């Protein structure tokens, strides 16, 4: 039989392994941030983005009935993007409250003389289109609900605004999808919510006067 002698450096490795096994060994905060720290940083980034979007809404629309839905969407857009990218879902608790807020804004606009038919028609068109895409397997129900809220919010501006937002969303989504599918192959899931929101904000910021 051949006896195998221990490697010379084994003795040197033992203290290192023992040191790693110590439960109270402090982690280096510069290289291993704790989860609470990461969560705080993410929340601060979302808050900063929401405040920035809200400021853009007030600059672009002022304190008007048109701004109601946009201000709500400014508050939830950053969180919706983060959740959809990470989990491929758009939580109802963030999207559905936008529906009554949009309806309220349309109603207030109607009292002030605006035509409520245009935003309602835009919302109905978006709902029908995205339900069709959902049935075909191309969209989730979260995308359908978000598209409805966005269309109602943009419909109070003009049809051109709604069309511009849709074009931006589908062009941006299609371009990114083509790149991702080329790199990762067919079957890769790509969230569409962020592109819907990009289209909304581009359309809103480039919008003309209310319809």
In the chain, where the domains are located: 38-205
Residue 167 reports pLDDT greater than 50: yes
Q: Name the pTM for this structure.
A: 0.78
Q: CA end-to-end span of the chain, whole Å?
A: 93
Which of 10-19, 43-52, 192-201 has the weakest average pLDDT?
10-19
- Cα dihedral value 78, 195, 101, 208, nearest 10: 110
Tell me the mean pLDDT in the region 41-68.
88
Q: Which two tokens stand for residue 48?
A: 């900063």
pLDDT band at 31 (very low <50, low <70, confident <90, very high): very low
Tell me the mean pLDDT in the region 179-186.
82
Q: Which two tokens stand for residue 193?
A: 């919510």
| pLDDT, mean over the chain | 82
- Work out the burial of residue 202: count CB atoms within 10 Å of its CB; fewer than 13 is exposed, 13-18 middle, 19 or more buried: middle
pLDDT band at 65 (very low <50, low <70, confident <90, very high): confident
Tell me the mean pLDDT in the region 131-144.
90
> So what's the pLDDT on residue 34?
52
Tell me the mean pLDDT in the region 152-162.
89
Q: DSSP label at 63?
A: S
Q: Which two tokens stand for residue 46?
A: 């979302």
Query: Quick one: which of 114, 109, 140, 130 has its CA closest to 211?
Result: 114
CA angle 56, 61, 67 (to 5 degrees): 90
CB atoms within 10 A of CB 68: 23
Dist. CA 128–CA 3, nearest whole Å: 78
Q: What's the pLDDT tens digit per position in 96-133?
A: 999 999 999 999 988 887 888 889 999 999 999 999 99
């Amino acid at each position: 039989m051949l006896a195998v002698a221990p490697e010379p450096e084994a003795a040197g490795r033992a203290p290192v392994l023992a040191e790693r096994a110590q439960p109270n060994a402090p982690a280096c905060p510069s290289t291993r941030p704790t989860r609470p720290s990461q969560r705080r940083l993410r929340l601060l980034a979302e808050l900063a983005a929401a405040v920035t979007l809200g400021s853009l809404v007030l600059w672009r629309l002022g304190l008007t009935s048109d701004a109601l839905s946009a201000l709500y969407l400014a508050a939830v857009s950053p969180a919706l993007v983060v959740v959809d990218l990470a989990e491929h879902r758009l939580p109802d608790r963030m999207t559905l409250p936008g529906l009554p807020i949009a309806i309220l804004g349309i109603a207030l606009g109607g009292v002030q003389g605006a035509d409520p038919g245009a935003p309602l028609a835009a919302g109905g068109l978006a709902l029908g289109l995205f339900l069709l895409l959902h049935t075909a397997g191309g969209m989730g129900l979260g995308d359908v609900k978000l598209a409805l809220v966005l269309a109602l919010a943009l419909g109070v501006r003009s049809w051109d605004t709604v069309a511009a937002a849709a074009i931006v969303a589908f062009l941006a989504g299609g371009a990114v999808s083509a790149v991702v599918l080329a790199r990762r192959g067919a079957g890769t899931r790509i969230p569409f919510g962020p592109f819907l929101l990009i289209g909304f904000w581009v359309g809103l910021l480039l919008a003309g006067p209310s319809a």
